[in-house]
Amino acid sequence: MYYRRTLTDAQINRELLHVVFTTPMWWIVLVVSLGLVVAVAVAAVGYMFNQGLGVTGLRQPVFWGFFITNFVFWVGISHAGVMISAILRLSQAEWRRPMVRAAEIMTVFSLMAALTMPLVHAGRAWRIFYWIFPYDWSRGIWPDTRSPLIWDPVAIFTYLISSSLFVYTALIPDLAVIRDRSKGTWRYPMYAILSLGWHGSPHQWKLQGIAGILLSALILPVFVSVHSIVSWDFGVSLVPSWHVTVFAPYFVIGAVHSGVSAVVTLMVIMRKLYHLENYIWEEHIDALARLLIVVATGWFFLFWLDFVFALWTREEQEMVVWNLRLFEAPWGWLFLTFFITSYVIPVPLWLFKRVRRSFTWMLWTSLLVNVGMWLERFLIIVPGLVRKGPLVFDYGSYRPSIIEITIVVGTLALVPFLLLLFSKFFPLIPLWEEKEGQKLIDHIQLGNVKVPALVKEH
């Protein structure tokens, strides 16, 4: 990205650490209201644990409903962080700078939100430890590592630990900035410890740079594997419409589609709330939108393959599920909504530069994508189960209960709630990356124009 404004280091510190050192009213209002929603959801979880899973809409044969849909959705959102941050770091794209941190931290929090879902879904969450952890709890029973339900937690814990370390490593220089600004206050000891005595010598900076590249290269294969493994929860089973070879990349690219859209949403809201007009510009969301056109079209290709090869077999059960999805109310309406909101409306709009460079348009289109992508997960998971049995009297139905809806809404509040808390203690935009970017601005004179240019080391 080519800077239009020159900012001094002191100004960057002041502007990006504003919310760390002061507490605006809107922040308190938002944290309290989102906290309330989360509290209600926690209460609903408590009620459900007390009463049993009967209070949900899960009935034979549909035992994977809103919770699992929401799990897949949040794992999907979590894919943006690493995808944006790692790919842009590896390709050394300048426009990564203001969005890497926020995207990475969204990965961490949405993974946490995702993790709560299988726990809640299990009904008796504490029992999960019996089948996940490699410990001889009782009677010599060990986890069955050949089950996708073990792969899943292994992958998600790997991803959570990796992305947390990723965030922390890049945070160290910024922690040193806060340390130096908070001498003599209650904050100092905390930041002094967290910043590990960072000085900022060329050697440390060099390692920080290599770490960014190396960790990106290592975390990208993890990111691809995580949603693939989530997809294999479905793909390796024999439920009609689930047993599809394309599921792994289809889930991954769908996750990127929804995740990058979530980053757009986050960027627009952050810009407004935190007054980041000097850092997040039209060019940034324009670049994200162009990336989204490519991702969405790739996603559409895989969606099309899933659909065509389902018809390909002309097997009775596949046809029944697709018939349900497409033509029976309310599924057909949901399908139509999903398809229109996740592709038909946003992608053609993004072809226009004016839309791509409008924060308002991008906010709404990116939100639409995620409405669609939530429905997509729901439509992948539930119809297959509703028509799982080969015989008509085995058919089921599914209607989420108010408890499930409350808990799902709770996770929608949980992620912004955690993001707000994070922003109170840590900057959402990496200070040192912005400062570095400022140093690399240059221009080349061509005839009468000064063409903006960038300094490259190689």
Partner 1 sequence: MANRKLLGLFQEPQQVADAMNELKGSGIPAEDLDIYSGSPFPEGAFGEHEPHHRLYMFPLVGALIGFSLGLLYTAGTQIAYPLVTGGKPLLSIPPMTIIMYENTMLGAIIATVLGVLFESRLPKRSLGLYDERITEGYIGIVVDAPEEKADEAEKLMKAAGAEEVKHES
Partner 2 sequence: MAEAAHEMRPIPTHQEVALDVLARFQDLGARYWGWVTVLGFLFVLGIVGFVIRLSAGFDDRSIWGYHVATMSFIVTTFLAMPMISAGLRLTKANWRRPLTRVTENMSITGLLVVLMLLPALAALPPLEGRRNIWFDFPLGAPGVWNVLGFGNLALMGLALLWVLALPDLAAARDHLPPSARQRFIAWASLGWVGHLRQWRVLYAASLVFGGGYLIAYPLVQSLLFADFHAGLMPGLKDAIGPARAVVHGVQGALAMTIVVMYVMRRLGGYERYFSVEQFWALSKPLLAFSLFWFYFWWASFLTFWYGRLPGETDLIRFLVLNSYLGPFIVSLVLNFIVPLVALIWSPVRRSAWGPAFVSAGILVGTFVNEVRIYVSAFSIEDPTLHALDGIPPGQWPEAPDVLIAIGGIAGCVLLFMLVSKIVPVISMWEVGEGLRLTKIRRYLNRQVRVIAKSH
For the bound state, the minimum distance from the C-beta of residue 196 to partner 2, rounded and expressed in Å, comes to: 27
Rounded CA-CA distance 160/76 in Å is 13
Region from 60-68, 69-77, 366-374, 446-454 binding partner 2, contact rule CB under 8 A = 446-454
Burial of residue 378 (CB within 10 Å: 0-12, 13-18, 19+) is buried
The binder of partner 2 chosen from 180, 306, 328, 436 (CB under 8 A): 306
**Which stretches of 276-358 are DSSP H helices?**
282-313, 316-327, 331-339, 346-350, 353-356
Work out whether 72 is an interface residue with partner 2 (CB under 8 A).
Answer: no
Of the listed pieces 4-12, 123-131, 174-182, 301-309, which binds partner 2 according to CB under 8 A?
301-309
Question: Contact with partner 1 (CB under 8 A): which of 91, 140, 308, 446?
Answer: 140
Token duo for residue 172 = 């160290």
326 binds partner 2 (CB under 8 A): no
Nearest-5° Cα angle at 347, 113 to 366? 30
Shortest reach from residue 231's CB to partner 2, in Å: 8
Question: DSSP assignment of 4-64, as one string?
Answer: SS---HHHHHHHHTHHHHS--HHHHHHHHHHHHHHHHHHHHHHHHHHH-GGGSS-BTTB--
Which of 32, 43, 149, 210 binds partner 1 (CB under 8 A)? It is 210
Amino acid at 323: N
203 binds partner 2 (CB under 8 A): no
* Nearest partner of 2 among 443, 447, 429, judged by Cα: 443
173 lines the binding site for partner 1 (CB under 8 A): yes
At 85, give phi and psi (nearest 5°).
Answer: -65, -50
CA nearest neighbour of 248 among 234, 236, 231, 225? 231
Residue 453 binds what, of partner 1, partner 2, none (CB under 5 to 8 Å, by partner type)? partner 2
Between CA 1 and CA 393 the distance in angstroms is 60
Cα–Cα nearest to 408, from 99, 117, 91: 117
Looking at residue 364, its amino acid is: W
Asked if 452 interacts with partner 2 (CB under 8 A), we say: yes
Binding part of the chain for partner 2, among 8-16, 34-42, 54-62, 224-232 by CB under 8 A, reads: 224-232
Interface of this chain with partner 2, residues 91 to 120, rule: CB under 8 A = 91
State how far the Cα of 102 lies from the Cα of 419, in Å rounded to an integer.
Answer: 9
Binding flag, residue 235, partner 2 (CB under 8 A): yes
Q: End-to-end alpha-carbon separation of the chain, Å?
A: 18
49 binds partner 1 (CB under 8 A): no
User: Which of residues 303 and 422 has its CB atom nearest to partner 2 in the complex?
Assistant: 303
Contacts of partner 1 in 177-206 (CB under 8 A): 177, 180-181, 183, 196-206
Q: Which does 310 bind (CB under 5 to 8 A by kind): partner 1, partner 2, none?
A: partner 2
Position 141 contacts partner 1 (CB under 8 A): yes
Q: How far apart are CA 401 and CA 384, in angstroms?
A: 20
DSSP state of 389: S
- Residues 68 to 127 in contact with partner 1, rule: CB under 8 A: none
Shortest spacing between CB 395 and partner 2, in angstroms: 23
Residues that bind partner 1 (CB under 8 A): 8-10, 13, 134, 136, 140-147, 150-151, 154-155, 157-158, 161-162, 165-166, 168-169, 172-173, 176-177, 180-181, 183, 196-211, 214-215, 218-219, 221-222, 225, 229, 431-433, 435-436, 439-440, 455, 457
